Structure 1
Amino acid sequence: MTTEKKCRIEGCKNKYKSGGWCHAHYERFRRYGDPLAGGTAHVPRPEKCSAQDCEKPVVAKCFCSGHYSLFRKYGDHTKAKYKWGKNGRDQWHKTSHGYIWRYSGYDDPNAAPNGFVYQHREVMANVIGRPLKSYESVHHKNGDRSDNRPENLELWVKSRPAGQRAQDLVAWAREIISQYGHMQ
């Protein structure tokens, strides 16, 4: 008849490994010199991110997904390449395609869906005195996308598709003249 040896620490029901202790108590003895020392205490996970003024739920290491991503990338959850309105993000920058843009926010009527405004669109909006419409675009006459002087910019309007009724085209032409006739 074989008897299963148990860990000699009172209350521990794990199997004996070495020195009369289970694996966990033996490793603690090996590391700290005491089978009851060390170990990891269970710390309950907080409900909200531990970053200042962040109310998002915790994903890992007491951070929300955004702050944990910054922590993994930079070693500090407060560091980032860009911050809203800080580190020059609200200043004009040149894109990899040669355009000049800056973050303006989602409330800006000339902003793209991501909150960025292209300088040439903002200059043209100031020239015509109103925000650009979705069917209007700005063309650089000399082809230099960073040359946003008003004299280098042209307002272009996307034309109607082919196959329109004549009366619809006449109505559309009148509308175009009423909108852009003053720009001649």
Structure 2
Amino acid sequence: MKNGDPGPAELQEKTPRPEVCAGPKCNSPVRAKGYCSAHYRQWREGGPLVPKKSFAPAGSGYLTAGGYRAISVDGRRGVLEHRHFIELLLGRRLLPTETVHHVNGVRTDNSTDGPLVMDERGRLRSGNLELWSHAHPYGQGIGPKLDYARSLLALYGTPEEQVKYADFVQMISTDPGGSAAAIEDQAT
């Protein structure tokens, strides 16, 4: 035998490879050095081995790097669950100028308790989710601002207000930020 040559294969002792990761609270399959890919990366970088982030139950989506739940909807993958729930309540896709806020700050708490209702402070909310709009009109003229306010009533007002001001929805739908395409997509 030469230096470094382990000898014939039949004389070499094989250490059995573990099937489950040796990392904390992990039952993922082993990839290298007795760890799954996530714990192997932690080991290789020299840091402490910490449990992997929690995952949503199998088949129910996953958590994004930002901590939001993402699901698959009608073949679209990675749909943020809180946005999807508000879209269901609105009966349309969200506009580019609309965001959904988690009232209690817990990004995985997407609980709703019925339809979107305007509260005493003028916030549209259902359960822990609240709809925000960051759209605004151009300029400072009173006339355009009033028309814009009517367009907001056409989108977010009571059913009677939505009918009364339906012609003003074009104020938001012609927004240069791309809202027009979002509204046209919903109409088809």
Larger gyration radius, structure 1 or structure 2: 1
TM-score, normalising length from structure 1? 0.43
TM-score, normalising length from structure 2? 0.42
More strand by percentage: 2
